[in-house]
Amino acid sequence: MLHALPRVLACGALCAAAFAAQAQVQDSQQYLQRMDTDGDGRVSRDEYLAWMSYAFDQRDLDHDGVLQGEELPGRRGKPITRAAHRATLVERFARQDANGDGYLSARELLAPPR
């Protein structure tokens, strides 16, 4: 478990960067609207993954699907593949989806990480 900690921390840094990198939002409703690309009032897993993958895509300067060296948050640590980053996001989505319906409501989306 400890060997995965650096990778989890780096993925966390990427997720935090996704929120900061994509235009600042003023309130929870605006935040939901930005992520909810189909306008159905909830965030699907695909919408969540697309939004949260933004930071990975921005940092992957050579577009090889792996963050390494200068591309990594803090410019150090083990390489992070797009697949590993996506797996972390899928796990986070599942934890936030409190009612297990496959979507994040505004309440679930804005709840503290579980």
pLDDT per residue rounded down to tens, the chain (114 residues): 445 545 555 555 555 555 454 555 566 678 788 999 999 999 999 999 999 999 899 999 999 999 999 999 899 999 999 999 999 999 999 999 999 999 999 899 888 887
**CATH superfamily to which 2-110 belongs:** EF-hand (1.10.238.10)
- Separation of alpha carbons 108 and 37, rounded Å: 17
Neighbours of 55 (CB within 10 A): 23
Q: Which amino acid is at 38?
A: D
Beta bridge pairs of residue 39: none
What is the pTM for the complete model shown?
0.72
Strands 66-67 and 43-44: unpaired
